[in-house]
Amino acid sequence: MHTPIPVTVLTGFLGAGKTTLLKHMLKAEHGLKIAVIENEFSEAGIDSQLLGDEPVQVMTLANGCVCCSIHGDLTRALYLLLERQDAGEIAFDRLVIECTGLADPAPVAQTFFIDEELRERYILDGIITLVDAKHAEFHLTQAIAQAQVGFADRLLLSKTDLVEPDVVEALRERLARINGRAQIRVVEHGRIDLAELLDVRGFNLNPDLGLSPRPTLRPVLKPATPDRISTLVLRTEKPLDIDRLSDFMNQLLEDHGKQLLRYKGVLNIAGEDRRLVFQGVLKLYGFDWDAEWKEGEVRESVMVFIGDELPQDRIRGDFAALAG
């Protein structure tokens, strides 16, 4: 029986510094055996001269980390790493996948839900998105950049030294409206504590929704940027009927499954002392019973959806009817 290998997906805007961050991760003396899968569209290959042009090349670096360059299918590269690990040719206990700056992280995340064998050997830990503070306003006019922010479990701001503090603060507020679950950190020239990137547990079925208390947003003279992607939070203290809840979720996924980037919930089910937790990506989701509610604890159901142009008022109305 193999212990599943935690996987971190690294995505972000073109030029935001993903390759610089990867170089830091690979060269730092952290004692970890990290494998990195880098696709051929990255801005500057980590070791492209050494790895050459073969469809898949794997090389062990001096500090024990493993670099894998792929030209093609991600699934093939994932299996190749496992085969070499099982054969004793390489050794790694963590995996980082770099997505191109123009890539949608959804298919990468879905790979670890759909393929049963990969699901047993790898466990998706978190999606990390780098945001270029200097060029964020332009980048966020693109739907793919907003999607990268929406999918994230953690957002890393780069190039904050190149802009004024009030610009950084406004960007933080905008990112929080797009994705209310992701914690925001600053990365300086590719350097950040690896603890901020690893063991994020963004895909664990647990009651942690990642909704940290947000400071009151400053009044703005003009309306907030009309981003396509935003966070919808539904709450109720009324116990939910599990059959009606199931109908609500099935209808939501049928109508808007492709628009639901990430979602997670902790639910108070009528007649049940345990929390019901669920989470998903697009139309793929899982749920399970968690620990019992503590004595005196407020039994509140909270559902967090990060979606692309969701009809929020209608969904709120349907949820109110469900909870009514």
**Domains in the chain, start-ordered, CATH in brackets?**
5-196 (3.40.50.300), 229-323 (3.30.1220.10)
Pair type for strands 5-12 and 122-132: parallel
Which residues are CB-neighbours of 104 under 8 A, at least 6 positions away?
144, 147, 148
Place of tokens 């947000």: 214
Cα–Cα distance for residue pair 160/184, rounded to 1 Å? 12
Looking at residue 43, its pLDDT comes to 43
Task: Dump pLDDT digits (tens) for 259-275.
Answer: 999 999 999 999 999 99
**287 versus 222: which is more confidently predicted?**
287
pLDDT at 246 over 90: yes
Task: Dump pLDDT digits (tens) for 217-237.
Answer: 444 444 455 799 999 999 999
Cα-trace Rg, the chain = 21
Cα–Cα distance for residue pair 81/90, rounded to 1 Å? 8
Looking at residue 32, its pLDDT comes to 86
| Full-model pTM | 0.88
DSSP 305: E
* Residue 178 structure tokens: 């797009």
Cα–Cα distance for residue pair 307/172, rounded to 1 Å? 18
pLDDT at 72 over 80: no
Mean pLDDT score of the chain: 87
130 in Cβ contact with 103 (< 8 Å): no
Q: 70 in helix, strand or coil?
A: strand
